Amino acid sequence: MVLCIVLISTYSFSQKILTGKILDEKTEQPIESAVVNVVKYNKAVITDAEGNFEINIPADTCFASISMIGYQTKNIELWKTYPNVIFLKNGPVNLKEVVITPQSNLVSFHNLSEIDLNMRPVNSSQDLMRLVPGLFLGQHQGGGVAEHIFFRGFDADHGTDVNVSVDDMPLNLVSQAHGQGFADLHFLIPELVTKYQFGKGPYYAPYGDFETAGFVSFTTADVLNKSMVKVEGGQFNTGRIMAMVNLLSDKAKQRGENAYIAAEDAYTDGPFDFAQHFNRFNVFGKYNVNISNKSRLDITLSTYSSGWRSSGEVPERAVKEGIIDRFGYIDTAQGGYTSRSNMIAKLTTRFSDRTTLENQIYYSKYFFNLHYDATSFADDSINGDQLRQRESRNLFGYNGKLTRRNYFNDNATLVSDAGIGMQFNYIDNSELSHTKNENTVLDYINLGNIKESTINGFLDENYSVGKWLINFGARLDYLYFDYADKLNPQQPSRSKVIASPKLNFEYTLNDRVQFYLKTGKGFHSNDAKAVIANKGLETLPAAYGADLGINWKPISHLYLNAALWYLQLQQEFTYDADEGTLSAGGRTRRQGIDLSARYQFNKWLFASFDINVCKARSLDAPKGSNYLPLAVPLSGTGGLDFKFADGFNGGLSYRYMKDRPANEDNTLIAQGYFVTDLTCNYTKRKYEVGLEIQNLFNTKWREAQFEVTSRLKNEPAPVDDISFTPGTPFFAKLKFAVFFK
């Protein structure tokens, strides 16, 4: 499938276009978002995904400074008639060399993401998500369920309001048995991630469904910097072994052909009285080849499986009354099994220095099976309230994008992205059932087959002139829902179209100060079962937002990002897992302040600080009953990271979340927490040893908590209470890794 777009350009005869390509010296792979800065003409540009750049100056040659976070800065002379291929060598992070430049709307937080990925220790896919300032995670159904996400005043469930992707493959699963937009990242081996981008708010045209609070996008390595075998072990019978190996010779790499394979096997019992027996196994492989001097093919294959037992959430009163301790359990028949296998094929064709076409297809085979019991005997005083969620899914998708760069007479640049995409979900036996002893079905609550598809198109224009960059985006999404209900009479399928305009402005005063205004409309889709039932629920509730912010370097070693933001949601909805229904709410409003700071004390010591303030309220409920459950009013992360030249590196970090309302009238409170983690490594060319300590001061905290009406076996009636999953206590883990070519 090919995109065809005709873009007409008028070029300036008084200007000279200097082009080039920036590559990693060791892997010879393109470096995206490297800064090419020509101080003499006060011009700076960044490289695209293929490492290419073009800079418009009034001469045939110039001296430029080439910089990228995590690389050594290089000063070089560029020539109009010479192939400017520039290799950068890995080096220490130096905030002094961070240059604020006009950047496309999609990578406006690039400096923050690169600083953090280079500095902060990452030990899991959860750590990767936590790199996003203001994003918090919680686990409440055992290690095999996607983490619960809290971001920008949203209790985003497992992904309902955050668009998540890996290598441009969307992860959010529509109409998933456990939650709408379920985004399970456990198949991602963290050592393979070389880049991540994030955006806050609904302002990014390439991202559609679930992009209300924002998006997070991860990119895995095309070539391994080094092969590795790593072994980890710690408390609670925790262990992990991981290996990643380059498969082809240096001669193959010189021909533009690369391949590697990685695998991991992890196990833990966790700190719970009822041991988790959590096991996860991943295999991930990638192959890429230059099939011509203009085209590159990337193929990625991965498979993941996981099984576990779970204590679930326990009622607060059961712990207070001494029935169980905080790591205890009520029902031993909780846990699950899940698996996902993915295939991605991407063909990138560069027609000219200014025109690139990307075609990507992907496929996932997915299975999910979960037993849980949140309410004990509230509904069934004899058999209990144990439930099972299950589904089997085949998912097919396509993404296409054409990128064109144009120059105009007034020395302006227009970068145009036009894309189309589609996804088809075939879900067999989407089930919610009342069970006993795990596999004995007492009755089915929901059971049926779902067909859900989407077709979308977008246009994203970045027009840069002088100190201004104007981004206009337009997106159109068509969604189709069909639910073959096996318990009730057949109901007709439904479809809906939604348009999402975006308009963003960026003013770069100089290489130290940049202001931006982001505005846009986004949406999250509803579960197909609810759409077909059509009980007062919007099919595609829209979100309208605005951000006013600044990127600022007040001094050479300090980088700041701050924003005032506003978001209004057309309709809030809440998933009731016990009933298998989605409850419609009214309009909601969230507004807040975000602040992020990164400071370098010296060559080896860095500090990070993030604080996020939010007021979240329902607009259609009376005052005092208009709280949004679990919306976080105040949160923050930060710490100190160090990297010595002799190999010692690591960091001391914290995360803080304030108490928050657990229900609409704030009569139940979800407790906040302050947790500190420590990581210390000694890294040499051929090996690394390290220590990771989670919850250094053994704080008693709650990782997840919800308002739940439950009934214990000897209680006369159900009780409205907080149920929670305790957070990890002091937990130490050692690791040892060996590196080889």
What confidence tens digit (pLDDT) does each residue in 606-616 have?
999 999 999 99
What digits encode the pLDDT tens for the residues 541-580? Answer: 899 999 999 999 999 999 999 999 999 998 887 666 556 5
**Residue appearing with tokens 């439950």:** 710
Helix (H) / strand (E) element for 316: namely: helix 316-320
- Which pLDDT score, from 0 to 100, does residue 576 have? 60
- Which pLDDT score, from 0 to 100, does residue 539 have? 81
What is the number of residues in the chain? 741
- Quickly state the pLDDT bin for 583 (edges 50, 70, 90): low
Tell me how far apart the alpha carbons of residues 212 and 202 are, in angstroms, rounded to a whole number: 5
Residue 535's CB is within 10 A of a number of other CB atoms, namely 11
- Which pLDDT score, from 0 to 100, does residue 9 have? 39
What residues have CB less than 8 Å from 141, skipping those under 6 apart?
A: 178, 310, 312, 334, 336, 370, 372
Mean pLDDT of the chain: 91
More confident residue, 57 or 358: 358
β-strand 61-67 against 35-38: which pairing, if any? antiparallel
Query: Which DSSP string corresponds to 397-414?
Result: EEEEEEEEEEE-TTS-EE
Tell me how far apart the alpha carbons of residues 501 and 473 are, in angstroms, rounded to a whole number: 6
What digits encode the pLDDT tens for the residues 648-675? Answer: 999 999 999 999 999 999 999 999 999 9
For the cut 50, the answer to whether the pLDDT of residue 8 exceeds it is no
- Which pLDDT score, from 0 to 100, does residue 103 have? 83
- Which pLDDT score, from 0 to 100, does residue 431 have? 95
What digits encode the pLDDT tens for the residues 245-298? Answer: 999 988 888 788 999 999 999 999 999 999 999 999 999 999 999 999 899 999
On whether the 16-91 domain is CATH 2.60.40.1120, my answer is yes
∠228-231-232 over CA atoms, to 5°? 135
Tell me how far apart the alpha carbons of residues 462 and 504 are, in angstroms, rounded to a whole number: 9
For the cut 70, the answer to whether the pLDDT of residue 14 exceeds it is no
How much is the average pLDDT of 592-609?
96
How much is the average pLDDT of 314-333?
93
Specify whether the CB–CB gap between 481 and 446 falls below 8 A. Answer: no
Closest CA to 27 of 90, 118, 84: 90
Q: Taking the alpha carbons of 142, 143, 144, 145 in that order, is the dihedral positive or negative?
A: positive
Q: How many helices (H) and strands (E) does the chain have?
A: 5, 43
Q: E strands along 124-200, which residues?
A: 136-138, 148-151, 154-155, 162-166, 169-170, 193-200
C-alpha to C-alpha distances, 418 to 65, 108, 204, nearest whole angstrom: 31, 19, 13
What digits encode the pLDDT tens for the residues 675-732? Answer: 999 999 999 999 999 999 999 999 999 999 999 999 998 899 999 999 999 999 999 9
**Residue appearing with tokens 């605005």:** 546
Q: Choose the CATH number for 110-740 among 2.40.170.20, 3.40.50.10900, 3.30.70.600, 2.60.120.200.
A: 2.40.170.20
Q: E strands along 408-541, which residues?
A: 413-436, 440-465, 468-485, 494-508, 513-523
Helix (H) / strand (E) element for 542: namely: strand 542-552
**Residue appearing with tokens 């079962």:** 529
- Which pLDDT score, from 0 to 100, does residue 2 have? 38
For the cut 60, the answer to whether the pLDDT of residue 436 exceeds it is yes
Q: What is the DSSP letter of 680?
A: E
How much is the average pLDDT of 508-531?
93
How much is the average pLDDT of 433-462?
93
- Which pLDDT score, from 0 to 100, does residue 251 have? 83
What digits encode the pLDDT tens for the residues 118-166? Answer: 888 888 888 899 999 999 999 887 888 999 999 999 998 899 999 999 9
Tell me how far apart the alpha carbons of residues 523 and 212 are, in angstroms, rounded to a whole number: 6
- Which pLDDT score, from 0 to 100, does residue 600 have? 96
Domain-by-domain residue ranges, the chain?
16-91, 110-740
For the cut 50, the answer to whether the pLDDT of residue 5 exceeds it is no
- Quickly state the pLDDT bin for 515 (edges 50, 70, 90): very high
For the cut 90, the answer to whether the pLDDT of residue 469 exceeds it is yes
Tokens of 269: 């019992």
Radius of gyration over alpha carbons of the chain, in Å?
26
Specify whether the CB–CB gap between 205 and 223 falls below 8 A. Answer: no
